[in-house]
Amino acid sequence: MKYATTVGDKTYTIEINDDHHLVIDSGEGQPPRTYTFDLGSASGQTLYSLLIDNQSFEAFVNAVEDSADEVQVLLRGHLYDVKVVDERAARLAKSAGGAAAVTGDFNLKAPMPGIVVAVPVNEGQEIKKGDILVILESMKMQNELKSPRDGRVARVKTKPGDNVEQNQALVTVAA
């Protein structure tokens, strides 16, 4: 099965050949690369263990509310907004003129339990995609949680020093 995977502004084609081999094509004139992989969920949590060509990674993966194909991935202290669409659905969307505009509120949720270090935004503040909304410390690492889109901070639901649980809403961004 092939998937169109978008991370930030870059799209990759990922083809899963079998349970342990995948091919990634960056579409930048370089030949596609084949990788050996193993992926497993740690105790049914949103923490995943990933081995790629004998290199080990741990990542927290959380689904984006009200989206069937978007997730947030916390990997090595960086939070990535990732959209994964199977190739057939991507072709259908393209032939239909693309996807609809992003509307409605977005709730930034904690990708893991932790302590809020800082909330550098205020309610009513206009923000841009990529602006830091919350700095969360977890497992002795500080993670900058960023806005996935432009908008206005509608509600700040946490403050520095708060202990937060995984999937707890931290900030609401209105379109």
- pLDDT tens, position by position, 69-121: 888 888 888 889 898 887 766 566 566 554 444 557 888 888 888 899 999 99
Long-range contacts of 90-95 (CB under 8 A, 24+ apart): 90/4
Longest dimension (CA), the chain: 49
Second-level CATH architecture of 1-100: 2-Layer Sandwich (3.30)
DSSP 76-91: TTEEEEEEEEEHHHHH
The answer to which of 32-36, 92-96, 103-107, 143-147 has the lowest mean pLDDT is: 92-96
Across the chain, what does the average pLDDT equal?
84
Q: Which CATH number fits domain 102-175: 1.10.10.10, 2.40.50.100, 3.30.300.130, 3.40.50.1820?
A: 2.40.50.100
